[in-house]
Amino acid sequence: MSSYLSMPPGPPIRDQSYATWRGAFTKEDLDKIVELGEAVPSQPATVFNDAAVEVDEGIRRTDVGWIARTPESDWLYEKLAYYAADLNARYFGFALSGFIEQLQYTIYRGSEDRPGKYDWHVDMGINTAAPRKLSLVVLLSSPEEYEGGELEFQGISTSQATKSQGDVNAFSSWVMHRVKPVTKGTRRSLVAWISGPQFL
């Protein structure tokens, strides 16, 4: 009689929750992304609080705009998809369907008393049929342009708290992360989510 203990060894376990692609976007690319982002309307970002979608500056203070897929932004969607597919194959191994949301262009305005920020949260979201699985964050601003604003992950050493411009930071959408208060300058980021069928 067979038992699960006699199963042959399976594929390698890929349980990595964070991976990065350094220098994924050139300075020229980043300028083009900022141009796309500045061309769309932006509004204060909302959070999901007790079944209500609302602005809550205690948790999140940033403006967001949405970059739709158009002939002008197609290269950006393509490039993100390429990096995401490669990182997913090597580190995450998720079943993914693709982008079901537009790309989020995010602006954190620096201030001592009302700093732009986003407290600890997960991205997974409320769409249970096609949850966000892989989150991608690209820092568009150079570290000299702002103070504070490190992107941090829980359970990942703080040496990886990053301000590294032009990298793709990819992480499982259930990983807790935050953007520390921006006390000076302006921090811009691009955020994308890749969704897929429910985890089994």
Ligand X SMILES: O=C(O)CCC(=O)C(=O)O
Q: In the complex, which residues of this chain contact ligand X (CB under 6 A)?
A: 104, 106, 118, 123, 137, 151, 177, 179, 189, 191
Strand partners, 162: 151
Give the side-chain half-sphere CA count within 13 A for 51.
Answer: 0
The interface with Fe ion within residues 114-133 (CB under 5 A) comprises: 123
Which C-beta is closer to ligand X: that of 94 or that of 140? 140
Which C-beta is closer to ligand X: that of 59 or that of 137? 137
- Partner interacting with residue 151 (select from Fe ion, ligand X, none; CB below 5-8 Å by kind): ligand X
Phi, psi at residue 38, to the nearest 5°? -70, -20
Which C-beta is closer to ligand X: that of 91 or that of 103? 103
- Partner interacting with residue 189 (select from ligand X, Fe ion, none; CB below 5-8 Å by kind): ligand X
DSSP symbol at 51: T
* Tokens linked to 75: 């290269």
Which C-beta is closer to ligand X: that of 52 or that of 200? 52
CA dist 187 and 108 (Å) reads: 5
Residues that bind Fe ion in the complex, under the rule CB under 5 A:
123
